[in-house]
Every structure is written in C-alpha cells, then in structure tokens.
Chain A
Amino acid sequence: MNKVREIINTGDINRFRFWFQLAAFILLIYGGCLAINIGNQLPTFACVFEEMRGGSCYLMGFQHQTNIPFDKILTGRGIGLLTGLITFFLFFILFNKAWCGYACPLGTLQDWLTSFRKRIHLRYSIYAEQTFQRLQSIKYILLALLILIPLGMNNAIFGLPKLNHDFAVPFCMICPGRTLLPIFTGDFSQLTIDFSSKTKMIFTSLGMMVTGIFLVGSLVKKRFFCLFCPMSAFHYIFSKAALLRLSKKGDKCTKCGNCYRVCDVGIRGIADDITSKNIVKDDCMMCFKCVAACPEEKCLTVHFLGLPIYESTEKGFFKRMLKGKK
C-alpha cells in the first residue's frame, strides 16, 4: 500500500491529467457512438447540442425544469426538478470540482489552447488581484440569471411581464460549449445567428460573441472561461458535501507560493490561506497541480471519503523538479 502511495505521490500529475482529460473528452463527445450514456444530469459541459455525446450537461435540463409556474412546484413538475437536482448532486459529490479539471470538455479545450500557446512561445496574461476579485461575482450572476429567466417565462417576477418562449435555456444560447463542441462531430450548424425572432437573434449573436471571446481569451489566459462559468458557481454550493476533497495543513505551509504560481485559475488563497482546512475555493477546478508543486510534506492532501489518495511530498517535489538533471 505504501509502495503504491509513493508511486502516486512521486508521479507526474500533469501527464496523468492530460490522458485522463483526453479519455473523458472522447467519452463525453463520442460516447454516444458506442451507445454509452452516463447520465443526463452531469455536472459538466457534455453539450446537449452535440449529437454523439456520451452524457448530458445538467444545465440544459435544469433550465428546462426551472421553467415552472410557482403554483406547479408542489406537483409532478416540482418532483422532476427535485429528482434532477438530486441526481446532479449525486454525480457531483463523487468527484467534487474535479469534474472541471478532469472531465469538462470545454475545460479540456482551454487546456489544449494553452498547450498551443506554449508551443508558439506566447506569453500568458494574468489578472491583477483587484480585477480578479471583481470578476469573481460574474459566475454567480449568470447562475442567478439562468434560474430567474426560465422562471420568468411562467411567472411574473417582480411584477414584470412574462417572458416569451424564446427565452428558454438562456445560458445554453450564450455558452461556447453549444457552438464549439458540435464542431468535433463535424456539425458547424450552431455557429450561426438565428434571425427567426428578436430574442433569438440577440441570444445567438451573444453566443457568437462569447465564442470569439472564449477562443481569444483562453489562448492568452489559462482557463479563461472558468472564472465566469455558472456551472462552477453551481458546484460550489454543494462542494462542502463532496467526497473528494483537497485539504491543507496551515501550520506546515511556508507561504512560498509555489501552489499559487502553478494555479491555472490564479487562486491566491491556496498559498495565503493558512486557516481553512478545506481549501477548495469557488474557482478551483481540482486539477491538483498545486499538490504537485508543494514541497512540504503532506501540507496539501487530496482525500476521497477521508482516505488520502494524493499528497504533497518532499520526495515527489524534488523528483519532479530534478527530472532530466544531468
């Protein structure tokens, strides 16, 4: 057991993650061809607009189900919403936010763009701390909107008139997953602006804009889109209950900032927060690069059901650092 643990702790998580992401990408994008369907409430962007998918993103179903009149909440439709949420929750607590770091096709796509940027020796950009703080609330606003807009189709919220049917699945309309992921099956049809109604035109134009921003943004900034992702905000509501955890021993931490440096989303708290035991912050995608970059013995630990599965070790750190040294 100790041998296995040592092999894992001294291993190369980035390489493992690359292959895992590739496998997850193939499964979620082409799984349907092999008659695989993992589920329809997945806490990750397995886009519903993509025909060969091996599972479906929950946000689509969620937006459909929140399209519900208030007086119907206590009927079958309410139960449908509830069971959907519970299934999502069960999927989610298994892997916590590692769904983002290891499975999300949109995340993987961004990581591939990052690899491409490294190849062409293009410098990355990072946010100043204040900008980062300011941008952080956007994902929560998007999450609130994707619940409120469908609700507004059946109910007069704040006394506003009910929204028309073109407001269905508003987030999907602007999500770059809808426009980009079908391309991998040769389907370019989502890369269009729908002129059939004013609402649709606005939404699909927004979608095209977001797609452009997504491509340019994630080429210059690691995991650019994740900071704004409402799925990430949704995750964070349940994160504390998850079985997969990342914990930190604050008294072991020297605040050297190695973890912060390698963090693709730029979470400063991973280095400077020495009081939280559970160190999964709302932007975290649980890629565990921080664990690999930490030279302190067992300062950062990945737990599953309380069992340590990957830990920061001095030996592992120096092995990775000195790899290829003559």
Chain B
Amino acid sequence: MSADGMQRKQNTIRLHLGMEVKEFFRKITEASPDRPKAMEYFDNFLRRIYCDDAAPASTRPLIGTMCVQVPDELIYAAGAVPYRLCNGSSTYDLCGAEFMPAKSCPVVRATTGMLHAAQINLKEQLAAVIIPTTCDQKKKAGELIASMGYKVHFLEMPSTCATELSRNYWQDSVQEFTLELQKITGQKITPARLKKAIQKIGAAGRAFRQLYNLRQGPLPILSGVDAFLVSNGYFLDDIDNWTAAVEALNNELIERQKKGTTVGNKNAPRFLFTGSPPIFPNFKIPMLVEEAGGVIVTDEACSSTRLLYDAVAYDEEALYDMLPAIADRYLKPCTCPCLTPNENRKRKLLEMIDSFSVDGVIYQAYSGCHPYEMEQMAINDMLAEKKVPMLYVETDFSKEDMGQLTTRVEAFIESIQSRKRRKKI
C-alpha cells in the first residue's frame, strides 16, 4: 500500500476506534449513573489513549508485551517501560481479519491487526515486542508480527507449571530474556534496580489486592465493568500514577461501603467471571450481565486478577536469587489454560467462589480460543458437582450475536434470582 493509502487507512481506523470508545463510555455512564468519582481517572486515561491518540507518557524505551507471563520487573529494571499490546477493539479485529484466518482468536487478531495497521507509529515507539510462547495463536502471530518488521523476542514458556523440569526451563528462559533486554535498552540490570522494580510492581499489587479484598464484602460497591476498566488501565498507564489512582479509588470505596452505597441492587446475584479476557473496549459480556441485573464481583481473567494478584519474594538481594524468584512468580501460580494440567485454575476458582460468596459463574470463550473452549468441560463438571451454576458463552468482538446473548444472559440471571428467592423461603 502506498504511504498515502496507508495514511488514509489509519485515519479511518482512528475514526472508527474513537467512535467505538465513545459509544462504550456513553453506555457505561448511562447504565450506572452513580459510579465512584475516582473512576474518572481511568475513563480519561483510556479516552486519551484511544480517542485522542495520546502518545505513551514515558520518554523511556517501550517494550511491547503480549500475555501476563512477561516479567515486567525486568523491563523496569532495564530502564524501559512495559506496554501491554493485547487489544480488544473490533476495529482492529477487522484489520487483522484482512490477513488472518476467520476462525482465529479475536484478541490475537485485533492485536496483530493493530500492529499491522499502526506500523508507522508503533514501530518507532516499540523497542521490542515480547511474546511468551503460550497458546499456538500468539506464537504464530509472533511470526507475523516479526515479518512486519518489529523486533520480536519469543519468551519460551513450558507447557506445565507443575514440575521442577518446567520450572528450571522457565528460569533459564527468563535469564536469557534478561540478557536480551539489557542488549535492547543498553542498561545493565543490577540488584538495586531490580529491587526497586519489584517494589514498584509490589506497590501496584498491594493496591490491586486491596481493591480485590474490598469487593469481597457483602455489598456490591463496584461494578465488574469498572473493575475491568481499572485493570485495563494498567496495560498502558504509568505504573506509579495508576497505583495512586487505585489507592484513591479504594479510599472512596471504603467510604461508600460505610455509607452503604451500592452499584445497582444490593441483593443482585453475584458473579465470578472467567475465561477469555475482556479487553478494553470490548466488555460485551460483563456489560450484558450487569445490564441484566447481575454484578460481577470478581474475575479470574488474565486481563485483570491474574495480572496483578501474585507477588515476588526472594531470599537474597542478588541476581542469582532475584531472577529465579521473578521467574517463579510468573509461572508457578499461573492459571493460564495453555498450561497442562491446569489444576491451579480449578482451585483458584473454587477459592474465589467461596471468598466472594459467588452465586454463579460466567465463562466466556472467544470463538477460536481453543484452550478456554477445551477447558470449559472440566470446569463445568467441577462446578456442577459443587452445585454452582455456570453460563458458558462463546462469542467474539462483533455485535452480531447481541440479541441471542442478551436472552441467554437474562434467562441465566433470572434462574439464579429465583434460586436465591427459593433459598430465602
């Protein structure tokens, strides 16, 4: 395509993306007029990025990341900033669909589509793109992205987290990534810098966990959509600003809890969201659930809880202990369905159902996302045994299935409400 044509295409994309995002915010402000004030920060941040095409705040090199397994601590310690590329817009999904299979995962398609469409800007901004070898589609997309001229590093990941063999392999892989990063940024990773980076992310993790704990309370004080907005801000935001904004949100939520201010009905059925990650601006299913009178109190998605829940602990302040400690944090507790077996995910779900007093589980699988599609059956059986109702939804970024989905979600919530009523009597 000519430079002129490319420019025209980019303008069209920007226009569509802007519309998509504006529509999103119009809908959520309409749906819940009494959102916490502190949410404004996250709204504005994402608006700036998507509508105003704001450049990333940092002047330091940007390292694009795909998947939660990329150790962000190392990127900070090497003097760069991580920039999570996973994308959820249907505009970029359409860009990707031009050259990717129709039955591929929409997240991978949208992400690759974005990197393809935005080649001129992003290629200059991204010092490298780090792709952990998680699912097949991300791996193969990595080859496509490399062929577009991006500098791609494949972070080799084992297919299990349960053995010492996989643990050692992953530690070596992270070690190699460290060397590669130092080459990319030209800055040496020292124990002192790494400690600072661990604390930086630790502080973000602490704020996130406080939010996570607040949502365990009996009153629904934050909508699931807002919670996803918060965690999606983390993808691209300056980490210190983000942490401060979450702390402000937490303080406001504590106030609201004291006053008894809730989002929606205080007896609304409580849901746990799991499966393929909702990524901004596509919060289709969470929005449907909350419009139909439910509230998502927690999630087990890699765009949210899995992103920030775990924390690094090391014994000796030296690279030989800190690097494996960081590696452990990204593999050992991981509940990604690309790992086999994935008992951790089942246990995590059960623990969450218990601690969040969950009434039902919403399981989203993007069509084409095989790991989540395949794991659905095992999770379904497990939950059936525990008598926890689950709704399995297979969808993508388009709006075509909205009518059908609305009916299913409403029926599911209705059945849970009547179950709850029966229990009360």
Chain A positions within 8 Å of B, measured between CB atoms, are: 118, 121, 123-124, 128-129, 251-252, 254-258, 260-262, 268, 271-272, 274, 289, 293, 295, 314, 317-318, 321-322, 324-325
| Chain A residues within an 8 Å CB radius of B351 | 251-252
Complex partner residue of B202 from A251, A254, A318, CB under 8 angstroms: A318
Complex partner residue of B332 from A118, A251, A256, CB under 8 angstroms: A256
| A174 nearest CB across to chain B (Å) | 30
Complex partner residue of A295 from B196, B213, B311, B350, CB under 8 angstroms: B311
6 smallest beta-carbon distances between A and B, as pairs: A258-B313, A256-B333, A257-B332, A293-B313, A254-B333, A325-B199
Stretch binding the partner chain, chosen from B35-43, B71-79, B255-263, B319-327: B319-327
- In the assembled complex, the Cα of A258 lies from the Cα of B162 at a distance in Å of 15
- In the assembled complex, the Cα of A24 lies from the Cα of B199 at a distance in Å of 34
Judged by a CB distance under 8 angstroms, whether B140 is at the interface is no
Q: Mark B25-45, 1 if CB is under 8 A from A, else 0.
A: 000000000000000000000
Closest to A126 in B: B324
- In the assembled complex, the Cα of A118 lies from the Cα of B318 at a distance in Å of 9
Closest to B163 in A: A129
Judged by a CB distance under 8 angstroms, whether B198 is at the interface is yes
| Chain B residues within an 8 Å CB radius of A317 | 311, 313
| Chain B residues within an 8 Å CB radius of A293 | 313
Q: Quick check: B313 and A321 within 8 Å, CB to CB? A: yes
Q: Quick check: B348 and A254 within 8 Å, CB to CB? A: yes
Tell whether A261 pairs with B313 under 8 Å between CB atoms, given A255-B332, A314-B209, A321-B198: yes
| Chain B residues within an 8 Å CB radius of A257 | 167, 328-329, 332-333
Judged by a CB distance under 8 angstroms, whether B417 is at the interface is no
- In the assembled complex, the Cα of A322 lies from the Cα of B324 at a distance in Å of 19
Complex partner residue of B321 from A124, A256, A258, A324, CB under 8 angstroms: A124
| Chain B residues within an 8 Å CB radius of A325 | 196, 199, 202-203
A-B contact pairs, 30 of them (CB 8 A): A118-B318, A128-B164, A251-B347, A251-B350, A254-B310, A254-B333, A255-B332, A255-B333, A257-B167, A257-B329, A257-B332, A258-B311, A258-B313, A258-B328, A260-B328, A261-B325, A261-B328, A268-B164, A271-B332, A293-B313, A314-B206, A318-B206, A321-B199, A322-B199, A322-B202, A322-B203, A324-B199, A325-B199, A325-B202, A325-B203
- In the assembled complex, the Cα of A262 lies from the Cα of B318 at a distance in Å of 13
Complex partner residue of A129 from B164, B196, B314, CB under 8 angstroms: B164
Q: Mark B150-173, 1 if CB is under 8 A from A, else 0.
A: 000000000001101001000000
| Chain B residues within an 8 Å CB radius of A295 | 310-311, 313
| Chain A residues within an 8 Å CB radius of B315 | 261-262, 289
Closest to B329 in A: A256
Judged by a CB distance under 8 angstroms, whether B344 is at the interface is yes
- In the assembled complex, the Cα of A91 lies from the Cα of B102 at a distance in Å of 71
Closest to A293 in B: B313
Closest to B162 in A: A272
Q: Quick check: B320 and A124 within 8 Å, CB to CB? A: yes
Q: Quick check: A261 and B347 within 8 Å, CB to CB? A: no
| Chain A residues within an 8 Å CB radius of B206 | 314, 318, 322
| B344 nearest CB across to chain A (Å) | 6
- In the assembled complex, the Cα of A314 lies from the Cα of B324 at a distance in Å of 22
Closest to A295 in B: B311
Known A124-B321, A251-B350; further 13 A-B contacts with Cβ < 8 A: A123-B318, A254-B344, A254-B348, A256-B310, A256-B332, A256-B333, A257-B167, A261-B315, A268-B164, A295-B313, A317-B313, A322-B206, A324-B199
- In the assembled complex, the Cα of A314 lies from the Cα of B202 at a distance in Å of 12
| Chain A residues within an 8 Å CB radius of B347 | 251, 274
| B204 nearest CB across to chain A (Å) | 11
| A47 nearest CB across to chain B (Å) | 29
| Chain B residues within an 8 Å CB radius of A260 | 328
- In the assembled complex, the Cα of A274 lies from the Cα of B344 at a distance in Å of 11
| Chain A residues within an 8 Å CB radius of B311 | 256, 258, 295, 317-318, 321
Q: Mark B324-363, 1 if CB is under 8 A from A, else 0.
A: 1100110011000000000010011011001000000000
| Chain A residues within an 8 Å CB radius of B329 | 256-258
| Chain A residues within an 8 Å CB radius of B164 | 128-129, 268
Complex partner residue of B316 from A124, A129, A258, CB under 8 angstroms: A124
- In the assembled complex, the Cα of A37 lies from the Cα of B329 at a distance in Å of 47
Query: Most chain-B CB neighbours within 10 Å: which of A271, A272, A274, A325?
Result: A325
| A275 nearest CB across to chain B (Å) | 11
- In the assembled complex, the Cα of A147 lies from the Cα of B116 at a distance in Å of 74
